[in-house]
A and B are shown apart, each in its own frame.
Chain A
Amino acid sequence: MAPTDSDWQGDWLKNQQHFWQSWANMAGQSGSNPTTIGSNPFSPNIGSNPFSPNIGSNPFFPNMGSNPFSPDWSQTLDQWWRLVSPQASDPVSEMFQRIIETGKSFNKLAEQGYSFGQTDGQEDLVQSWLDNMQKGFEDWSSQISTHKFSFNDNKDSSIPEWMGLNKGALEIWDTVANSIGLGGVPDIPGLDKGKVEISRLLKSPALGQWREHQQQLQNIAQLLIEFQEADQVYKLAFAQMGIRSIDALRQRLSNIGSDEEKVSTVREFYDLWVDVNEEIYSEFTMTDEYQVIHGDFVNALMALRKETNALTEKMYKALNLPTRSELNTINKRLQEQRRENIQLRNEIKKLASQIASKSEKKTEPTSKSQTTLRQDKDLAKIKGVGPKIVEKLHTQGIETLEQIAKMQLAELEKLDKKIGGNGRILRDQWGIQANQLLNQ
């Protein structure tokens, strides 16, 4: 049965305590008798620890060979992380991964410093570290310069592990390159990596039924070479920047002298190293040279990617599968249609509001005249009132039956005179008639 999480974690923690205790014990002894450590860098307790660090060689530092004093704290951290990471939720795991990666490069710095302290003595510790880092960059630089392109791998010019902190800066671009398809160069039939000699492929004339296909492959091969070259130039520039950073660090350290600035811990040294690197990096990436290198790298990668995409699409078509280009066409048309729809919707809205305001204007007078017409009809309901008298009533401001109904006798007499009614208003009892009509 598999151990539970708490079981193995408990065991692991115990082992870790042992591990660090042993290191601490040795450190204690080192002050009094450094040779003891040399002969036995690890206590027997550690031997039984399945997570005990790998001694005898340092894969993270190219020029140290197998150094018996070389600890491997970063790997220990890595092993611990591999065990606990399955427990972590996604965001925590991602962030902790970043802490671990940085922690490893910090540990490497400490490892290297510690190892040099053991072999070369405390005085020359930093000097040895600087010399080795410099040699690392120089070797890498010459490796890149002399590297011949091959379809087989890209390892010779890949970012070496020993770079630690510097690796991080370069890795971002490696990740970016991967995210935009560096790893996406497909296995191309006829371009079987490693088996086909690229120069032969490029030189052979494209003929016959497969002429177009062959030309495309030749084109990809050419672009691949161009990308490799751009990648080499890019990495070489970084290697040279690394050498400049070492120089700048030497300069900074020599300036430290005996006054204020003090470097007594790995952390302080790490911070100084970060500052120096950042400064040199920032200077370098703002040069015209970098602008060109960077652009060439991205452009070469994209040119290659574009061509391989086209080839992939061809294969999709042969299999009667939809392609990215077809989807793009649909998306493009759809977006144009959506834009048009929005425009039409806006126009319809505008037109609708124009129509609404126009019809409002029209209906207003119509409704007024209808009211007037109705009122005129009402007035004409009074016995003896015809259109002519209605007109005369209008000239006196009388529009409705209500107005007549509300009039007192004297007012009715006045109105009679004004319209020349010859007493008909009183005679025909318009006031009473109006009231009766209103009550109907």
Chain B
Amino acid sequence: MITMKPEEMLNEASNFNKKITEGFSNLADVGEIGSGVTPHDTIYEEDKLKLYHYKSDASTKKNPVPLLIVYALVNRPYMADIQENRSTIKGLMDNGQDVYLIDWGYADDADQYLTMDDYINGYIDRCVDILRERHNEEKINLLGICQGGTFSLCYSSMHPEKVRNLVTMVTPVDFHTPDNMLSHWVQNIDIDLLVDTQGNISGDLLNGTFLSMKPYELMGKKYIGVIDILDSPDALKNFMRMEQWIFDSPDQAAETFRQFIKDFYQGNKLISGDVVIGDKTVDLKNLTMPILNIYAKQDHLVPPAATTALKKYVGSDDYKEISFPGGHIGIYVSGTAQKTVPPEIGAWLSLR
């Protein structure tokens, strides 16, 4: 039934604009938002990379095997530590894990020749070695997020002797499932031409691409919705945190982007066993360690089918999946997810 009346429209528009103008001062008062909430030390630095160790309560009983989180090169890793009561990292610590994280920093033009080999067999491998030595453990636990999950799969396949347990979250594995929008869009793009011309792929371009997957919702409805919370400082601060994160998108190193899009998105070579990184071939059958694969049921960036394909290709007989009813980001910020996902990961790791 359509019952819009002009005079009510006028009132609505009036209230709408009033809310915006009055809410502005609340927004201006939000203050510093920060990036990440859990205290940490930087235990290793190399180029723009920083390896963080999250400080936990000394009295907490910890898993002697350290857990290394490998985040994507897209956006910033504080999504996993976005606010006090919505922190995957804190959740993992509360559930007995000794957590480390690789912060990739912001790649610039001088980094454009960093390849996937440099990232995976270089940076990640050195961080893993540091933790192995520091904890006097042959193998460590690895947790990869999104593109970082794909990197972790590659790493674990090439260095299985250093990985005790592997956890992947919202990680693409089969890049050619019919519902994969990003994959559909890049098939006809001449990636060599793009990378040769552009060099690094700018964060703006990446971000624009992600937003344009749901443009009406993400560039429209969302900002109409926020007008309703302009009078609530706490809700507003949380919204601002998300906004800051969404638009905080580093550039992606040219050569890494080239291989990632050509071999993974276009060629779908991860599942065919044809990805070559440096002088090593990535064979998912080498993944014989226990694997926990976590995906979001409404993920529009990495559709569930792209993730769950993993079980068909790995060599492990200890493979488990956890699904969460939410989106790609919801898995890190939803209250429900935070109550269930980190405890499940923690318990799974502690048993192995």
Contacts and interface: CB of A to CB of B under 8 A. Distances in A.
Q: Do A and B come from one complex?
A: yes
Given A103-B17, A295-B188, A271 B221 contact: yes
Interface in B96-154: 109-110, 112-114, 118, 122
B45 interface: no
Interface in A290-347: 290-292, 294-296, 298-299, 302-303, 305-306, 309, 324, 327-328, 331-332, 334-336, 339, 342
A42 interface: no
Interface in B206-256: 208-209, 211-212, 214-217, 219-224, 226-227, 240, 243-244, 247
B5 A117 contact: yes
A244 to B, nearest CB: 14
Interface string B6-33: 1111111110111011001001101001
Contacts of B30: 92
B1 A262 contact: yes
B197 A305 contact: yes
A149 interface: no
Contact of B224 (A94, A267, A296, A302): A267
B168 to A, nearest CB: 26
B189 to A, nearest CB: 5
A180 interface: yes
B49 interface: no
Interface string A15-46: 01000100110111011000000000000000
Contacts of B17: 20, 73, 76-77, 80, 103, 107
B112 A169 contact: no
A103 B220 CA distance: 9
A169 B212 contact: yes
A324 B200 CA distance: 12
A165 B185 CA distance: 22
Interface residues of B, number: 68
Given A281-B216, A296-B188, A302-B197, A256 B1 contact: yes
A154 interface: no
Nearest to A99: B223
A327 B109 contact: yes
Interface SS of A by simple majority: helix
A92 B28 contact: yes
Contact of A264 (B3, B190, B198): B3
B61 to A, nearest CB: 35
B219 A169 contact: yes
A179 B1 CA distance: 44
Interface in B25-58: 27-28, 30, 33
Nearest to A76: B17
Contacts of B27: 88, 92, 95-96
A117 B217 contact: no
Nearest to A308: B197
Interface of B: 1-14, 16-18, 20-21, 24, 27-28, 30, 33, 109-110, 112-114, 118, 122, 181, 184-190, 193-194, 196-199, 202, 204-205, 208-209, 211-212, 214-217, 219-224, 226-227, 240, 243-244, 247
Q: Which 8 A-B residue pairings sit nearest by Cβ, starting from the closest?
A: A295-B188, A117-B6, A169-B215, A102-B223, A335-B113, A27-B7, A176-B208, A110-B13
